[in-house]
Amino acid sequence: MLVNLGGLTLNVLLYFAQFGREVTAERIRDNVAAAKKKGMWMGGVVPLGYRVDNRKLVN
């Protein structure tokens, strides 16, 4: 019986790559949520009448 080990190896590598991407994405989402919870400015266009001081919006 002949087994295609190349395909199996490729599938295992692809699985670990996908797992790594999912872990990284989850970590980034958690860090952004924690920063927002602390009231930190997450970037973008500053609303009219405000300025950013130490990563927080100040009127």
Q: What is the pLDDT of residues 1-59, one digit of tens each?
A: 556 778 888 899 999 999 999 999 999 999 999 998 988 888 889 889 999 888 888 88
CA atoms of 55 and 59, how far apart (whole Å): 13
Q: What is the pLDDT of residue 48?
A: 92
The residue assigned the tokens 């989850």 is 26
Confidence at residue 2, expressed as pLDDT on a 0 to 100 scale: 56
Closest CA to 41 of 59, 53, 25: 53
| Spatial separation of the C-alpha atoms in residues 55 and 4, rounded to whole Å | 54
pTM of the model: 0.64
Q: Which of 52, 50, 55, 21 is nearest to 38 (CA)?
A: 55
